Amino acid sequence: MAEGHVPAARRPSALGRVLALGFGLVLALAVIEIAGRVALGFEPLPGWAQNFYSRAGYELRPHERYIYASRDGEFENEVRTNARGLHDVEHALEKPAGTFRILILSDSYGQAREVPLEANFARRLEAALNGSAPAGTIFEVINAGQFGLGTAQEYLYYTVEGRRYDPDLVLVGFYVGNDVVDNHAPLIKAWNNVETVDFPYFSPDGALHQPGMATGRRMLSWLRQNTTLGHLVARATGSSASADRVEVGGDDDVSAHALRVPMGVYLPPDATWADAWTATGHAFAALKRAVEADGARLGVFLIPDRRQVYDEDWDATLERQPDLDDAALDRDRPTATALALLAAQDVPALSLLEPFRVAAERAYFPGDGHFTPAGHALTARMLASWLREANLIAEESAP
């Protein structure tokens, strides 16, 4: 036998070489994944929680840090998200002994990117409750507010992520200005000027629709958010990096779109708006069933539209829309409709409308329309009082 010659029977076959290469690749990826989780502390979140237009509608990006500012100078704030993507302090999934947990679901009013973290109503509420907590009880408030969420998406967030915190009480901050719009497909199309709806939503017959997103995009996003290598590649290519500064407001197209007002909430409901409120009722009913099945309670606080609160805001809106029938408009209608819907489902509800109307200090930024620090402080005070009066939390300790 010639030196260096390997018999054909001992040569690896093409299939064997492919299998060996595949095994080596899998082993290398496994080593990278384990090393990444150990060395980098990378903890994957559920894929849905990271995908825009996924099961809950919006992605939650962990450990984001950027400046959020209004172009007209109303606010400039550093936003920091925690390990679960929430604009909040860190919270362990496991509930400590002796802790009464409150989970707040809301849209951008709860996310509160306009004010420092310690100034938002969730953090203020926790401080107020712990100031008079019964002996041996600690209140923990988890702020799961995310911009753009409707009630159906908040329900889905709770079923997949929120219930993992084992809350004793779930509070929904329902913005009467447009949450009902976010709950109904035809209004979502009209409001966002789109042909198809990717947001999850309930139809008036009670069916839950979860359109999701394109399969390819979902797979890439899953790899990016659930594997160390995908995460590192995304960051290296810039596809996971966030802007250092986000500016809102002004005369740009985004601002003009955001300032549009769904005035249908103030008019006697036609068939479309009646269906929207029916779909909203289905979303609340589903959320209530899920929360109570977990042994917790559900409560709702109604966030007013600033046009309900301030005459100047109302008048400015009517000036921009002179074709509206003034006689048919009712500034109390959206709050009254929501209260009636929740009463029919036996869900405790707090309206913030009257307290906001009589408040001495303005609760909303005039241009941006979200809560000022004073608005957050007032919301926290009203919630703390209502939770005790409605027996949704333990009695406060004696002086």
For the stretch 148-198, pLDDT in tens is: 889 999 999 999 899 999 999 999 999 999 999 999 999 988 887 878 887
Q: What is the pLDDT of residue 7?
A: 58
At residue 321, does pLDDT exceed 90? no
Q: Are 222 and 47 in contact (CB under 8 A)?
A: yes
Mean pLDDT (the chain, rounded): 84
Domain that holds residue 121: 47-212+244-389
Examine residue 228 and state whether it is found in any structural domain, yes or no. no
Greater confidence, 392 or 194?
392
Q: Are 171 and 302 in contact (CB under 8 A)?
A: no
Examine residue 10 and state whether it is found in any structural domain, yes or no. no
C-alpha to C-alpha distance for 106 and 210, rounded to whole angstroms:
19
Listed residue (280, 266, 392, 297) closest to 341, CA to CA: 280
Backbone angles phi, psi at 169, to 5 degrees: -140, 135
At residue 339, does pLDDT exceed 90? yes
Examine residue 354 and state whether it is found in any structural domain, yes or no. yes
Q: What is the pLDDT of residue 59?
A: 63
Examine residue 37 and state whether it is found in any structural domain, yes or no. no
CATH of the domain at 373: 3.40.50.1110
Examine residue 6 and state whether it is found in any structural domain, yes or no. no
Tell me which of 131-145, 211-225, 345-359 is least confident: 211-225
Number of folded domains in the chain? 1
Q: Tens of pLDDT along 27-70?
A: 887 777 777 666 655 555 544 344 454 556 666 678 888 899 99
C-alpha to C-alpha distance for 197 and 59, rounded to whole angstroms:
16
Q: What is the pLDDT of residue 53?
A: 44
Which distant-in-sequence residues (6+ apart) come within 8 Å of 273 by Cβ? 180, 187, 264, 265, 267
Examine residue 397 and state whether it is found in any structural domain, yes or no. no
Strands 208-209 and 201-202, bridge-based pairing = antiparallel
When pLDDT is averaged across residues 217-228 and rounded to a whole number, the result is: 64
Alpha-carbon torsion angle 30, 44, 89, 255, nearest 10:
130
At residue 313, does pLDDT exceed 70? yes
pLDDT band, residue 108 (cuts 50/70/90):
very high
Examine residue 4 and state whether it is found in any structural domain, yes or no. no
Residue 345, CA atoms < 13 Å, CB-side half-sphere: 23
Examine residue 131 and state whether it is found in any structural domain, yes or no. yes
